[in-house]
Structure formats: C-alpha cells, structure tokens
Structure 1
Amino acid sequence: MGKSAAVWDQRSELEIARDWNGIEQVVLRVPRGASAKVSLHGGQVISWKNERGEELLFTSSKAIFKPPKAMRGGIPICFPQFGNCGSLEQHGFARNKVWSIDDDPPTLHSNDSNGKVFVDLLLKPMEDDLKCWPHCFEFRLRVSLSMDGNLTLISRIRNINGKQFSFSIAYHTYFSVSNISEVRVEGLETLDYLDNLCQRERFTEQGDAITFESEVDRIYLGTPNVVAVLDHEKKRTFVIRKEGLPDMVLWNPWEKKSKSMLDLGDDEYKQMLCVDAAAIERPITLKTGEEWTGRLEISAVPSSYCSDHFDQHLQGVM
C-alpha cells in the first residue's frame, strides 16, 4: 500500500486483515481508543466504536457476511440508485462489489486529512456492471477517524469517459440505539418528505421532533446540513453533518416487516435506526470529466452537551 493510501501519527494505527471470506478489512484506531473497521466488500464501514469500546453502529445478528449479499448493518453505500427501479438491483451495485485500496488518490482539502487516520478506497465498473449501467466512472471513498473519534466519509465520483450520466446516492447508516421508542430526531421539522409506504406521496412533517411508533420509510427533502439523533436511555446524541447531500432517509422496518427479513432478527428493529445522508429527489448529473463530492461526518456526544449547542448547529455552523 502506497504512502498516500493512509496516514497516521505514531500513536494511531491502521491495520489490514482479512475476514473469513478472504476479503480485506481496514481497521483504523486513534490514541484515545476509538476505532472503525471498513470492509473492501462494498467499501462498507462495518464497525465504529467510541473510546470506551462501545459499538455505535448496528449490525444484525443474522447478517450475511458473504458476497454478493450486502451486510445488514454498518454503513452500506447505495449507488448508483436508491430504491428499486429499472434493471439495477435494489440500492445499486456499489454495496455488493469488492473495492480496492487507492494508492494514488487525488489531493483533498487539508481539513479532511489533518489529525486523522484514514484510508482511501476505489471502485471502478466491471464488465458486468457496464451491461446493466453503461457508464464509465471512478468512485473514490475516503473513510477517516479523527482524534476525538468522529467518523467521516467523503465520496468523489467522476465521469471519466463517455456520455453524461445521472445517479442517486445514500450512506445507509444503521445507528445502534437503546430502544427505537426512546429515540427522537431533531432538525427535520416542517420539511416535506416522500413516504415510501405511500408510493412516495409527498407530505409535510408536522411534529416538533420525529419519534417512532410504527414502521417508517421516508425521504426528507432539502434538509439542513446538521441533524441530531437523540437516544434518551443512553443519554447519547449522534450529530450528523453533511455536505452535497440534500436529502435524508429515515427507516425502521418495525415488527411485521422484520419478521419477513431473513437477515434481521424479529426484535432487532428495536435496537436500530437508519438515518441516511443522501441525494435522491434530484439525481446528480455529471458530464464527461465532471466530478461530484459528498461528505458525511458523524459524531457521538452526551445529549446534555448537544442540547446546549445544537441550536447554533442548526443555523449552519459546521
């Protein structure tokens, strides 16, 4: 692996191992104890732990860890589509492909590398991909962990040859929560959303905060750059910061649908909530040579801290 593929100081660590399918995984660690694990299967973050070793992402006990099946949990990447339409498989093919470590990534802004341990991954279309989605692209993904344990994913997608194309994308993030009934989401109030349970009919959010009492599958539109997920029982708040990703998906299958899903335990819906930073309603269009960048940063902080500072975050402070 070239020097540009990952950086760290003497106290930080980056380790490359293989899972039981022989697929490489990259483990990022920082001195205070936080860590993240990225599988080259799907370019998927499959673990994110805080300095106390607590897992912050949900993974189903019935998750299937074998290609080409996407793993139920972590942060799968939905590209080049979100949902199920046309000839592509549901949520596209990026989450089912084996990525490579990028030894020669383009230079990113210094704020995206200073004081962080990171790895750069690369996905290019294979011949089979071009048959169902005939576009030449390079998808570069940087996964980084800051010294204070914040996790950042930066995607750069370039049209490298041929005709103009459009795509949708979502970071399908499975947050681990104490109990879905004890969770609320702040920052999406008064916004319009498309309800996937009602054929994507458009509604306007009426609640002061979003809470969960039944199945939810919504795409919120024109969302702010900062949104918070508050877990009352754990007194923990996930702060989601994003750029280039105007939409946000909320998903929980609830009891009935969970029982029909082979790779999700019947009651595991209680311990998870998917909150996806996404670009769905208006797909991204790239002409030859053009590039799109999307950035997601997630942090976990005590809820008391978040309540003191969240107002200014909602005003766009990044």
Structure 2
Amino acid sequence: MGHSAAVWDSKIATENVKDWNGIDQIVLRNPHGASARVSLHGGQVISWRNDRGEELLFTSSKANGKAPKPMQGGIPICFPQFGSCGSLEQHGFARKKIWIVDQDPPSLPANDSNRKSFIDLLLKPSEEDLKFWPHSFELRLRVCLGMDGNLTLISRVRNIDGKPFSFSFAYHSYLSVSDISEVRIEGLETMDYFDNLCHKERFTEQGDAITFESEFDRVYLSSPNCVAVLDHERKRTYVLRKEGLPDVVVWNPWDKKSKAMADLGDDEYRQMICVDGAVIEKPISLKPGEEWKGRLEIVVVPSSFCSEDL
C-alpha cells in the first residue's frame, strides 16, 4: 500500500498491519518510541502511546471493533452529524466505514513534513450512504505523530456535489485517566453549554473548573481553542488545541449508564473521559466546491503545568 511517510535514518516511520478482522491498520512511530495506531475502519485512532509505552487513549476491554460496529474508545470521527437526529444513525456513518489511504493528499509544509510521521486517509460516500444523506463529499483525514509525541488530527470536508450541504463534526476523543474523580478540566469556565441530561437546555458554567461526581454530558459552545484535562493521580495533563472546532463535548456515562452499555465494562467509566473538539451548535455549510478544515492537537505535559500557561 503506497503512502507518504516521514523517514529517519532510513527507517520508515509507518508500518502496515492487519487487525483480528483482517482490516488494515497503520502504525506511526517517532524515533523516541512514541506510537499511534490508526484503523482504516472508521479512520479511527485506536491507540496513542508515549515514549515510555504508556497508553494515552482509553479503549473498552469489551470493544471488539467488528465491522460495521465502531470500537468503543480511541478517537472515533463523528460525521456528518454528532448525536442523533433525523434519518441518520447516531454520530453519523463515517466511524463505521472502511476508509482508504489517500493517494493524492494535500502537501505538508516543507518544514513540517520532516518532523512528523503521518498518514492520509480518504472517505467518499457509498451508494448506500447517498440514500440516507444525499450529498457527494470527500472527507480527508491526516493523522500526525510529532517528534515530541504530540498527536494531531486534521480533517478536510470538500463539497463535490452540485448543491450546498451542511454537517456537524466531532473528534470523539476518549482520554485515559487514573480515576474520573481525580480529573478536572480547565479552560471552559464561564462558557455557555447545552446539557444533554436536561433536554439540551442552555446553562452557563459556574465552576472555576469542571470536576466529576455523576453522569456528565454537555456541549460547551464557542469555547476557547485550548482546554486542559488534569489528572492529579498520574500528575499529567492533556492539553487540547483546536482550530475550526468551536464547541467542546465533555462526556462520562458514570455507573448506571455503563452497566447498560454492552461494549463498556461496568466500572470502566472511571478510567475515561471524553473531551471532543467539535462543530455542533452551528453546523458547517459548504457551497459546491467549498472546503472546511478542522484541526485538533493533543499534547501531554506534566501536571505542574496549569491553565495560566495555556
């Protein structure tokens, strides 16, 4: 399978493997030992490890990822909708489709390409997709692993239809944490949010940080482009930087909902928090030939780092 890949010391920084269902995966590596694994099923990042081999993304022990069911964990791509409404299935169809390696990707800036291991994937609608969502599009995804171990996802949606269409989008990022009760999120103070546990009613965040003691399902609107997820026990902080993604979803199912979910262990809600860069409140509208771009970078830093440094 031919694709662009960064090279160091004549070692290819990408590797092709197959999962237990025979679906292609691409493993990105940097010279320091960090890695990211991307499945062509859903264009989904299913693993991201730091240079010590520690897994930074949560995946359920009950996830089998058998197509067409998406894997519970990692970073599913929600397109052309987030949530459920109309005739489309929840979170759209992109996360259930088999993507292809993009043979004609947009080029990386010269000063960028030699510092990253990356893969370019492409999704176009099938005849079946067009029955449910009758719009021709190209959805491109670039997954980059930096020399510093940072993970970057860049998506481009191009309208190749003869008429306008609109869509919502999210990187549904499952972050691995020590214990949800030890986690706090900074950067969303004073933001308005829709509470999906209160009929999507609109509220304003009052706390100086978000902490967790029960089920949590909110969409923070027009939020800052930098959000920090602090894990006290592991003394590490995830910093999410985003462009073209105005909203942030924060979700944890807690105990009752976890027990009702077939592909999540009863207590696994404790080891995860979903913090998504997203476009939900005001969907993106594209005229024929127009393109939208959204970018999410996730960095992991020691927890001495705090939001004043953002």
- When normalised by structure 1's length, the TM-score is 0.95
The correspondence of residues 38-187 of structure 1 with structure 2, limited to 5 A, is 38-110=38-110, 112-187=112-187
Determine helix, strand or coil for the equivalent of 2:181: helix
The answer for the alignment partner of 1:24 in structure 2 is 24
Q: Quote the offset at 1:48 in angstroms.
A: 0.2
Q: Quote the offset at 1:110 in angstroms.
A: 4.3
Q: Given that residues 12 and 31 in structure 1 are in contact (C-alpha distance below 8 angstroms), is that contact kept between their aligned partners in structure 2?
A: no
Determine helix, strand or coil for the equivalent of 2:8: coil
Provide the rounded CA distance (Å) in 1 between the counterparts of 2:260 and 2:27: 33
Q: Given that residues 7 and 114 in structure 2 are in contact (C-alpha distance below 8 angstroms), is that contact kept between their aligned partners in structure 1?
A: no
2:223 partner letter: T
Q: Quote the offset at 1:250 in angstroms.
A: 0.2
1:270 matched to 2:267: no
The answer for the alignment partner of 1:316 in structure 2 is none
1:6 partner letter: A
Q: Quote the offset at 1:174 in angstroms.
A: 0.2
1:8 matched to 2:15: no
The answer for the alignment partner of 2:209 in structure 1 is 209
CA-based RMSD of the aligned residues comes to 1.1
Q: Structure 2: which 5+ residue stretches go unaligned?
A: none
Determine helix, strand or coil for the equivalent of 1:294: strand
The answer for the alignment partner of 2:191 in structure 1 is 191
For these two proteins, the number of residue pairs brought into alignment is: 309
Provide the rounded CA distance (Å) in 2 between the counterparts of 1:108 and 1:193: 35
Q: Quote the offset at 1:64 in angstroms.
A: 2.5
Q: Given that residues 227 and 239 in structure 2 are in contact (C-alpha distance below 8 angstroms), is that contact kept between their aligned partners in structure 1?
A: yes
The partner residue of 2:308 within 291, 311, 316 is 311
Q: Quote the offset at 1:295 in angstroms.
A: 0.3
1:61 partner letter: S
1:290 matched to 2:290: yes
Q: Given that residues 245 and 278 in structure 1 are in contact (C-alpha distance below 8 angstroms), is that contact kept between their aligned partners in structure 2?
A: yes
Q: Given that residues 8 and 118 in structure 1 are in contact (C-alpha distance below 8 angstroms), is that contact kept between their aligned partners in structure 2?
A: no
Q: Quote the offset at 1:104 in angstroms.
A: 1.2
Q: Quote the offset at 1:162 in angstroms.
A: 1.6
2:158 partner letter: R
Q: Given that residues 5 and 13 in structure 2 are in contact (C-alpha distance below 8 angstroms), is that contact kept between their aligned partners in structure 1?
A: no
1:71 partner letter: M
Q: Quote the offset at 1:312 in angstroms.
A: 4.2
Provide the rounded CA distance (Å) in 2 between the counterparts of 1:251 and 1:110: 38
Superposed CA offset, 1:233-286 (max 9, x none): 000000000000000000000000000000000000000000000000000000
| Structure-2 change in CA distance of 1:259 and 1:296 (3 Å) | same
Determine helix, strand or coil for the equivalent of 2:308: helix
Q: Quote the offset at 1:7 in angstroms.
A: 2.4
Q: Given that residues 174 and 272 in structure 2 are in contact (C-alpha distance below 8 angstroms), is that contact kept between their aligned partners in structure 1?
A: yes
| Structure-2 change in CA distance of 1:17 and 1:124 (3 Å) | same
Q: Quote the offset at 1:103 in angstroms.
A: 1.3
2:100 partner letter: S
Q: Structure 1: which 5+ residue stretches go unaligned?
A: 314-318
Provide the rounded CA distance (Å) in 1 between the counterparts of 2:32 and 2:12: 9
Q: Given that residues 33 and 53 in structure 1 are in contact (C-alpha distance below 8 angstroms), is that contact kept between their aligned partners in structure 2?
A: yes
2:308 partner letter: D
The correspondence of residues 222-241 of structure 1 with structure 2, limited to 5 A, is 222-241=222-241
- When normalised by structure 2's length, the TM-score is 0.97
